[in-house]
Amino acid sequence: MQKFDAFTGNLAVATAMKQINPDVCAAYPITPSTEIMMIFADFVSNGEVNTELVTVESEHSAMSACIGASLAGGRVMTATSSAGLAYMWELLSVASGLRCPIVMTCVNRALSAPLNIHCDHSDAMGARDTGWIQIFSENAQEAYDNVIQAIRIAEHKDVKLPVMVCVDGFIISHSYEKMQYMEDKEVRDFVGEFKPYKSLLNVEKPETFGAMVLPNYYMEFKRQVREGMERARQVILEVGEEFSQRFGRYYSNFENYMLDDADFVFVVMNSAAGTVKHVVKNLREKGIKAGVLKPRVFRPFPFKEIADTLKNSKIICVLDRAETFGAEGGPLYLEIKSALQTIESNPTVINRIFGLGQRDFLPYHVENVFKEMRNYLDSGNIKMFDYVNLRD
Amino acid sequence: MSELKSWREIPKGAVIEEAGNSEEYKTGTWRSFRPIWYKDKCIQCYRCWTFCPDSSILIKEGKVAGINYEYCKGCGICAHECPKKASAIEMVPEKT
Ligand code: SF4
Ligand code: SF4
């Protein structure tokens, strides 16, 4: 039986963690993710979970402790943001390389300098190539559902990789919204019991973890990580399908919002997708064929399915909430451009950087970009790269 | 070293599944200098045996009896630690 209540994004994630009841959480506080662990620490103190909560002295130590606990055979979860994720960076590829199915929520926040505690995706995008599966969440509901599914994805025998569930700082993490949640037992049945692939604490069969590998084997182990990532494509769909059947909320690789005959397409992740969908709905009411593609899974990037969905559109605007400084465009734009190389048709793709450090991104900003796109179909002129709501 | 395996055949996450398998790794292949032990100069002080990082000083019937070249990596610690008055180990370049 599911119930409705008011949740912030952080409360939604902490609630999912309580229901999952992991063996170990090692964490260090950083805004805006701090509250997840604060709420979770209450659950630990009140005996609502059996989790060993390890309060460490930095994010570098947090991820190190998570890796140790995971290798010891535990189900491990944590959360972080921005500089915290950056400080974990060294350990991110250790976690994937040692095949630790850790589930971490990344409450997206801008990177310094200048210091800014508000939302953008530069933290998660910096970690996109570290061998972590990355799943993005538009709202509290998706964050809750994604964290629960992430356990099944990470621990699947064909995957064995860490998963980062991304959710927008403040916009979602600190805003209350209506959310549907399951009973503890339903969640525990869905995630099942954790069976570690190997365990450091298995004294019957001592094994060595984290040994050095010379040039004659290193590439083979990285190839294995790619294999886990490739297998995850199918596993993510299967877990999403099972979740939909049990709990009635549908999850795939990406959300297709009014895309089927769309000439004008916006590609956007996380909370801003709600704003864009609102504008697109209004455009549809005026008879304009617009649509939104909201990637849910950024790693492994569903390039084939996305290219297939976008092939008949006329112009695509990719909205990036992160900079790449020196590349042709933002990280999502680069993925979409390269995905479209796999098909024959060649829609025009433009890139707009928005919302850095949580700069306002409002419906009229989307409408302005749409006007540029419509004008392009008549005139053939448009800026390929630009910013939204930047004082020029 | 044993024959190199494909990525499909090796344990995920670079786990070493057997304990104590460093024996299979012949560190002797690294050597660019070879220690030569002179039996007649050796005063049996065991300093070389104590310091050798690869347990490559051979002992027979309680006495230093030479070098195990399968594992000796040629670091020269034995020659350095051998007392000056004995100088029973000399490092010579390996022929390439
Ligand atoms: S050269 Fe180094 S490894 Fe070889 S026997 Fe001497 S101390 Fe041991
Ligand atoms: S250190 Fe020199 S003298 Fe002493 S046991 Fe070894 S070879 Fe002999």
Helices A215-247 and A140-155, packing angle to 10 deg: 130
* CA-closest candidate to residue A79, choices A190, A4, A153, A167: A167
- pLDDT above 90: percentage of residues in chain A: 98
> What is the residue with the minimal CA distance to atom 6 of ligand 1?
B78
Please indicate, yes or no, whether residues A306 and A178 belong to a single structural domain of this protein.
no
pLDDT tens per residue across span A336-382: 999 999 999 889 999 999 999 999 999 999 999 999 999 999 999 99
- With a cut of 60, say whether residue A70 has pLDDT above it: yes
Please indicate, yes or no, whether residues A75 and A170 belong to a single structural domain of this protein.
yes
A226-259: b (≥16 Cβ within 10 Å) or e: ebbbebbbebbbebbeebeeebeeebebbbbbbb
**Residue A198: helix, strand or coil by DSSP?**
coil
pLDDT on residue A292: 98
- pLDDT above 70: percentage of residues in chain A: 100
**Residue B25: helix, strand or coil by DSSP?**
coil
Domain ranges for chain B, please list them: 44-96
A209/B5 touch (CB, cutoff 8 Å), yes or no: no
- CATH number of the domain at B44-96, out of 3.30.465.10, 3.30.930.10, 3.20.20.70, 3.30.70.20? 3.30.70.20
> Cβ atoms within 10 A of the Cβ of A24, count?
20
- Secondary structure letter of residue B3 according to DSSP: P
Please indicate, yes or no, whether residues A243 and A119 belong to a single structural domain of this protein.
yes
Ligand 2 contacts (CB < 6 A) are B 37, 42-48, 64, 81-83, 86, 88-89
The ipTM (two decimal places) reads: 0.87
Please indicate, yes or no, whether residues A150 and A165 belong to a single structural domain of this protein.
yes
Flag whether residue A216 sits within 8 Å of chain B, measured between CB atoms. yes
Please indicate, yes or no, whether residues A88 and A207 belong to a single structural domain of this protein.
yes
Query: What is the token pair recorded at A26?
Result: 């090692």
Interatomic CA distance for residues A67 and A321, integer angstroms: 29
Contact A177, A140 (CB under 8 A): yes
Task: Establish whether residue B73 lines the binding site of ligand 1, counting it when its CB lies within 6 angstroms of any ligand atom.
Answer: yes
Over residues B7-32, mean pLDDT? 91
How confident is residue A1, by pLDDT bands cut at 50, 70 and 90?
A: confident
Q: Domain end: A197, A227, A247, which one?
A: A247
Please indicate, yes or no, whether residues A56 and A140 belong to a single structural domain of this protein.
yes
Contact A307, A346 (CB under 8 A): no
Atom of ligand 2 nearest to the CA of B43: 3
pLDDT tens per residue across span A276-311: 999 999 999 999 999 999 999 999 999 999 999 999
> What is the residue with the minimal CA distance to atom 3 of ligand 1?
B72
pLDDT on residue A377: 95
Flag whether residue A203 sits within 8 Å of chain B, measured between CB atoms. no
Task: Establish whether residue B42 lines the binding site of ligand 1, counting it when its CB lies within 6 angstroms of any ligand atom.
Answer: no
Q: In chain A, what is the straight-line distance between the N-terminal and C-terminal CA atoms, in Å? A: 53
Close Cβ partners of A336 (under 8 Å, ≥ 6 residues apart): A267, A306, A310, A316, A318, A349
Can you give the pTM of this predicted structure? 0.91
Atom of ligand 1 nearest to the CA of B33: 1
Q: How many beta-carbon contacts under 8 Å exist across A and B?
A: 51
Q: Tokens 């190190």 appear where?
A: A64
Best of A220, A223, A227, A230 to mutate (most B CBs within 10 Å, chain B): A220
Interatomic CA distance for residues A340 and A205, integer angstroms: 49
Interatomic CA distance for residues A101 and A67, integer angstroms: 9
In a domain, A276, yes or no: yes
Set of chain B residues whose Cβ sits within 8 Å of the Cβ of A207: 15-19
Residue A303's Cβ-count burial label (10 Å; 0-12, 13-18, 19+) is middle
A99/B13 touch (CB, cutoff 8 Å), yes or no: yes
Please indicate, yes or no, whether residues A126 and A243 belong to a single structural domain of this protein.
yes
Task: Show which of residues 87-106 on chain A sit within 8 Å of chain B, judged by CB atoms.
Answer: 97-100
- With a cut of 80, say whether residue B2 has pLDDT above it: no
Please indicate, yes or no, whether residues A295 and A209 belong to a single structural domain of this protein.
no
Please indicate, yes or no, whether residues A28 and A121 belong to a single structural domain of this protein.
yes
Residue A189's Cβ-count burial label (10 Å; 0-12, 13-18, 19+) is exposed
Close Cβ partners of A120 (under 8 Å, ≥ 6 residues apart): A108, A109, A110, A321, A322, A355, A356, A357, A358
How confident is residue B20, by pLDDT bands cut at 50, 70 and 90?
A: confident
Please indicate, yes or no, whether residues A74 and A160 belong to a single structural domain of this protein.
yes
Number of domains in chain A: 2
Over residues A34-57, mean pLDDT? 98
Please indicate, yes or no, whether residues A222 and A318 belong to a single structural domain of this protein.
no
In a domain, A392, yes or no: no
CATH number for the domain that contains residue A242: 3.40.50.970
Count, residues in chain A:
392
CATH number for the domain that contains residue A277: 3.40.50.920
Tell me which residue range forms the domain holding A371: 254-387
Q: Domain end: A216, A247, A278, which one?
A: A247
Segment holding B92, helix H or strand E: strand B89-93
Please indicate, yes or no, whether residues A232 and A331 belong to a single structural domain of this protein.
no
Contact A284, A273 (CB under 8 A): no
pLDDT tens per residue across span A193-249: 999 988 999 999 999 999 999 999 999 999 999 999 999 999 999 999 999 999 999
pLDDT on residue A67: 98
pLDDT on residue A19: 98
**Residue A158: helix, strand or coil by DSSP?**
coil
